Amino acid sequence: MQDVLSAAEKQKRYRERMRANNPEKFEEAKKNCECSEREKEILRAQWRNRKNRQKDKIKENVTENNSDLTESNDLTHNRAR
């Protein structure tokens, strides 16, 4: 059975693989870490905004699907009477 890795161990292994297999991407990732605190705050805010929009879109789709199902169930239920 495979060992259960913590998030930090997974990240470390990912970085090691990236360093070995794709040095250009690894260097770019390192550059992202060398940002000033203000730049990091801006990047985090942008990430949060993208993530929230993604979550809102998923909620919207789920709500639409649920309302479609409810309408379908109402029609089926009314026919059974």
What is the CB-side half-sphere exposure of residue 73 using CA atoms within 13 A?
A: 6
Same domain, 29 and 2: yes
Same domain, 53 and 79: yes
For tokens 């009314």, the residue is 78
Distance of alpha carbon 7 from alpha carbon 22, whole angstroms: 21
Same domain, 9 and 28: yes
Same domain, 79 and 45: yes
Distance of alpha carbon 41 from alpha carbon 47, whole angstroms: 10
Q: What one-character DSSP code corresponds to residue 35? A: S
Same domain, 50 and 27: no
Same domain, 44 and 76: yes
pLDDT at 56: 93
The 10s digit of each residue's pLDDT in 12-64 is: 999 899 999 988 888 887 776 777 888 889 989 999 999 999 999 988 888 87
Same domain, 48 and 72: yes
Identify the domain containing residue 8 by its residue range.
Answer: 1-34
Distance of alpha carbon 79 from alpha carbon 81, whole angstroms: 5
Angle 56-58-64 (CA atoms, 0-180°, nearest 5)? 100
